[in-house]
Structure 1
């Protein structure tokens, strides 16, 4: 009978608040100090709960659960015990028979506690062990109040988490939290309004306006509440016009004409700008972008001291300012310049000279188009730039609106779907979308360029090169495409061509990280070590170069081109010139292995000792093992015997290692449990193999349930 009840509760998603408000629910208090356990028991009894057990260890509690129906557990840290608080938190997540149990945790130091970590593991509530009868009675009353106000336990926990976040004044964390709640446990109107308000507090105005429109569509009676929020945060209740205040606090101006700088400074100050940075040269403006200040607007002349007009606006985008609108204030933009401007996106042209009134009108129109896009072209720009910036939630939200527009050709909609798929790593899906569209008509430069990037990721550099070259002929000068072209050229065995393209890209954007990475690795591949050296102080650039050269050496070794392989390894090490030794250790190990295969054991030992001394844990172990084998072979005057497992270490853009939270989520047998999978833990919990520590009767019960 107990097993069927457990099965019934395990299938119930989410757990209802009534389950814990039922005074007959079984409660076990896991607390070694009898005074604390007795106080908790007394408060619970006086609140009408009667089915209460006390256990002095987790093992005692597990045995209690085996013989009684338990739905609620209070657990102390028990950090010195084999089974502790974290085992209890994970029990309902990983053992289906106990997925109905909610865990309240007792903590020793409330002031230093990261509450997100407990809530991320499905905790119901958090209490201090330094409790008194009155303090715990108040905390329990608050918990009961939240449960009474919420249909589900998850919503009740969210109330407490929300209150804690509001005290921190971190508006970004609060916005992310409210979005997670609406996506995973509560899609009610009240929660939708919380998301809108959190977005407005965090100045995510566009997303807030889109949410307003969708919420009004889904809940027509919400008009009054939405208008109140719009009036409070945007200064207008006219949500249909999709307009509102746009940010204009910080502005960067690049124009060598000081009179134009003064004109712009005067007008922008009148429009509310507080910080205006004026630059006369490209280097000054790029330095301002490097400093890290986020500009609400960038204004630039098109021609600056013989520098191509498109160079600076690409600097803006590649320096991480994808969400910043750019205004080209110039009379020098030619029709042939506009295709590249359109590729960069979010760039608006205001012709010189402009009277003050006309300039204000034109600038206001540009800012409104960017911050609250109405036209399909502006929406498309916003989606692509958000995707490139990694703001995929925003891109998907905007794309959902775009896909619903009735008068947009399907091909444009499919292109944006492919863009998002590409940036999410779904390369095959993105490729298929572009190929299907190409059969319906002549593909555009943006479609061809995207296909080239996709094929490069899918390991087809020859076809990728054709696509990228064609797109570059149609619209030359795109820095990102030039970098991809260089990589594709190198992949098909054209290192000199790769270097030529990388050099051209450097002329346009030499201080851009992506360009520096590409230039450095292809310079080293072509033996131009001095040219690459200035960029290799950066660890990210050095890592990119090492990855490329290391894999090039491995590829040569695989075809027994030992000289070419050795040159690749040694050039990489020479280029580093002692910098970033942990990166050089990887190459030193592979070079040592290659030399051992050629029976050049003394030379191999030199490299292996470097790898063993400077490498990270994996490389240290492998280098030590191979070194010992080489030393034995030298002593015996025999060829070294290599284990089959001794292979070169391939480097590259590997997926990030799983955090312990990822691992726990894979083990979990429940989809939702409190705020589990709703918020993320901020630290790594102690590594524990839960099932191996559980009493056999609990494991057996779970297996029986799984087979039922």
Structure 2
């Protein structure tokens, strides 16, 4: 994680009620090398600067003499994702100031008790900058340390336990948090939970001397008994584990580590081809640990087969020494929970295992929950979708872009493609994970038949995840729609070389129908369990062709679809004939339309049968009475709509070029820590929201003022 406060050119505002206080603060910052420090007299003045300039850090009193307070400032910053990078440090002369906890809940970066002398401010800033270096710029970790000191000062173990449990959901296995949690659990006489926390500490940081000190102080022994360890291991769900690694020495290291953690059934394979049939036949393990670079079958393909062929949904950890940062999205996208670097560090490995198992039981990590949400959506499990959506939207680790992606996924699966597109673009605008948002945007654009734009999005995703079969099939389909058969075949061959599965056969069938290879299409369709996507594709393309004036070509596409259907598929035949009859009817070829509808009217599906007969009767009435048949028209986009679309893509391109990635750490403790402490003091202050008109950074040039988005 990058520590941007190492950049001495960042914009800092020092708030002080008097010029002498402002002089002290600004002089100390400048002594540490910061060049761009502005002193103002009130929080209101700071907000006026933030309205039109990019500010990185505000150093301010908890309350000023102008009735301003830090809660107001933090409320404003939280309303605008573009201001998420602005950090607020507060100072006061009371180390137990009752307003401090609520400020941490709203995202306060740090809290300092100082008499505002040069020596004290310098000491506080020096301590904070050291924390920034030690934590590599992780603002949430630093805020947590300042909050712990405050809670220790007011001696509130119950509040500390609540905070540390919430913090563990975002930073599972964090040593400082677990130490604080264990000690306060012992203080509250919750010995069983404290031992559970100590066990996790021993796994993630076995050399931590403070763990032994806490145990010795509260139990009289510096180690857990073997009985205690077995109970906790069982409670965490450590039982069956599968390991795949061609390096037997490395596999043996992993095997010993998981056995030491309490796994009692460990199976090891040196070859993924041997592991796949074992997974099909045996009871699924609690955990899979696999090397990324495997013989015969590449890691991405093996992982794809585990998730999509074997339908194995258990948590999975990838181990490798050469996996690149750009490959991480692909690994996560394919369903891996964690990546552990080789050579294996026992403490980091055990921390990863504990986190992965915990996430499988009660998922909290946004990536894991989003993966489970996509599974539930594809399976039509509406109850699970509702639960997972609630979990995600209430999750303190969720960023604004994560929430937009969730809304886009749900909109897409419900056929609301305009909204899906809108939310995916919103996720990119908020600086979220570009590959994930771009992939979803690409799929949405395909449904909206904007294939050139979709292709650009999907090719971007394929660069990040070159072995993703679904991406390659979508790219192939875009080329097919654009009439580029050569590129269609190239993308399809790449997908087929990875895994010649049903998705590949489905895409190939679409191409065969479109290009008139009905015999080949029939053989491909016989391999499929469902024809839904193929027939939907055919209908959408035929409708578009007819709408664009290519009536004969659209009609012929329907006919090729009928010729491609395997024997005995009467219900699907009726569906295609209804669409074909409707196309004829729209073109006023009523007699031919009637003929097609009669061939499909005896289907078993009651809803389809009703639609066919209703259209047939309307056509008969129209013929008998000699009146035109009026059907609901389908219209093309207007010129104005096209102009709006071009503007959207122009804005999207700007967002991608200038986005500042937003991580969980940028939120400090906002959405992690919630408290009722200081409620009486803060309630009235929160309601007084100051006037704020965010306009972005204003840049002056020789023509005058030009507004530039922040």
Q: Relative contact order (C-alpha < 8 Å, sep 6+): which is higher? A: 2
TM-score normalised to structure 1 length: 0.46
TM-score normalised to structure 2 length: 0.46
